[in-house]
Chains A and B, each alone.
Chain A
């Protein structure tokens, strides 16, 4: 009964490739997020969708494109991967209102060689 799931868990790829990470939540939440955690464990928000609509778009290279086919799914597509894209990417979801708790997926460790 995984609440927020991500696939794949590990992704190893060459520079220049295009890859996607998928996220699904079965909590009925309205808002979903993508976060990037760097090698120093620092988390930073990348994107957020509310009911399939993009509401937060931080300063992220436009090689990163989120897509939300429905409010239970938020996928992240990355074009022309670079070494600096290596990180752990976390998906999260939130119902909205109070309590304002975010539920995180298990993370996808991306390694770009």
Chain B
């Protein structure tokens, strides 16, 4: 079993819908990242969280450290949000460890017009 599990693996939505992608992890972490991989292949960092909640435009990321769970929400989804969304955790073991990340398997999001 992977240390980082995402759900769902595939998600299809209609434009305008509210979307939630979940990430659960089984190790102690110092930070959690949400990444977006565009259909063209490029990877962009969306958020880094160590507690609470962050918002950027239509994207909101939350984390519950006690429950070892994070969610990425997209409000008013748009076809251009179609991408693979990847959760990654930075382990707390061995200190900050130069930012070594362990990744979830990704969620493929398709938003139809």
Residues of A within 8 A of B (CB): 31, 33, 40-45, 48, 50, 55-56, 88, 90, 92, 94, 96, 99-104, 106-107, 109
Q: Report yes or no: B101 in contact with A45, Cβ–Cβ below 8 A.
A: yes
Shortest Cβ distance from B81 into chain A, in angstroms?
17
| Binary CB contact string for chain B from 8 to 50 against chain A (1 if under 8 A, 0 otherwise) | 0000000000000000000000010101010001111100100
Q: Report yes or no: B98 in contact with A41, Cβ–Cβ below 8 A.
A: no
Q: Report yes or no: B84 in contact with A50, Cβ–Cβ below 8 A.
A: no
Q: Report yes or no: A107 in contact with B99, Cβ–Cβ below 8 A.
A: no
CA distance A106 to B86 in the complex (A): 16
**Do most interface residues of chain A lie in helix, strand or loop, or is the interface mixed?**
strand
Q: Report yes or no: B43 in contact with A104, Cβ–Cβ below 8 A.
A: yes
Q: A48-B98, A107-B42 are in contact. Are A42 and B48 (CB under 8 A)?
A: no
Q: Report yes or no: A31 in contact with B99, Cβ–Cβ below 8 A.
A: yes
Q: Report yes or no: B48 in contact with A100, Cβ–Cβ below 8 A.
A: yes
CA distance A43 to B89 in the complex (A): 12
CB-CB under 8 A from A56, the residues of chain B are 97-98, 100
CB-CB under 8 A from B42, the residues of chain A are 104, 106-107
Shortest Cβ distance from A106 into chain B, in angstroms?
6
Tell me, yes or no, whether B105 is within 8 Å of chain A by CB.
yes
Q: Report yes or no: B98 in contact with A43, Cβ–Cβ below 8 A.
A: no
CB-CB under 8 A from B101, the residues of chain A are 45, 102
CA distance A47 to B86 in the complex (A): 20
